[in-house]
Amino acid sequence: MSISRAAFPAISISPFRILGMCVTEARPSVLAIFFLRFAAGAALDAGLAPADPFRLVAGALVWQCAIFFVYLFNGVMDVREDRVNGSRRPIARGDLDPALARIIAWAAAAAALLGALLLGGAMIWLVIAVLALGYLYSAPPFQLKKWSSATVVVGGLSGLLSYCAGYTSCGTGPAGQAVIALPAFAVAASLWMGLVGTPAKDLPDIAGDRSAGRVTFAVSRGEWPVRLLLSAVATSVALAFCAVELLLRVPLGMAPAAMLTGASLLVVVTLTPLSRGSRVRRRLPYRAFMTTQYAVHLAVLLPLVSQFLLSGRSA
């Protein structure tokens, strides 16, 4: 008896392609910003001269595995609303089997947990915490994603945990005024992620969230109140970040200015017809939110990289 390959479609797909689709489902832009959060937590702690480079690299890999689980698992659990919202990620398109993606997600979680156990220390609890948050956010019966308030908390906490993971992987500490740089940056960036990222993400997904029974602010209040809230919160967080830098003289370079510039751009995009119409245009506020995150983190990291390279040449 012959067995059709169509009965086992995964066999005909290269493992590398499957992994690539899983990375796409986990959103490379999100994986990248979590890496920058980890790097910022490490760099604002010890610059680019960690006490144990191996531990730093291993910690980064472990953390990426944990975040990969969180977002791939979320993609598995969000198939219905993603399809209603017109998502083009692999599971919503039908190119990636959700059951297979679920297995790969749990394998990543196991790898993250094993790596954390090998690293020891606070990394164990940080990985357990972010894995638990990811599961509680996406999986029934909890599904914290149903409520905007819970999404704000989960988003902010996952950001803070990422900075803590970078910090604990470095092994040294800053001195002088730089001591408050990491806490100030981590709190501001996490507030941006939770308070600004949640309405920015919900805005283009109202139809899918409503069909999935979510009770987000956008679903319950409508589009225009979300636009006003998003604009007000983005401006408030950015101004508060700038005020902290000026009043406490925190050495954060151009990061506060980058956030204020990004907030201004986000307000313009959100309150004008630029972000109305097609799904691509409705996602513009979210793109402005993400671009600002990149700019803020690079504003902190790039000067440190330049300083490290210049010090190497002078040596």
Confidence of residue 84 (pLDDT cuts 50, 70, 90): confident
Average pLDDT over residues 163-186: 79
pLDDT at 2: 41
Alpha helices by DSSP H, listed for the chain, are 15-25, 28-46, 53-77, 79-84, 90-93, 98-119, 122-138, 148-168, 181-191, 197-202, 206-211, 217-221, 223-248, 255-271, 279-282, 284-314
* Residue range 237-267, pLDDT digits in tens: 999 999 999 999 988 999 999 999 999 999 9
What value does the mean pLDDT of the chain take?
Answer: 89
pLDDT at 81 > cutoff 90: no
pLDDT at 9 > cutoff 60: no
Average pLDDT over residues 103-127: 97
pLDDT at 8 > cutoff 70: no
pTM above 0.85, yes or no: yes
Pick the more confident residue, 288 or 9: 288
Q: What are residue 289's phi and psi, to 5 degrees? A: -60, -45
CA distance 50 to 54: 9
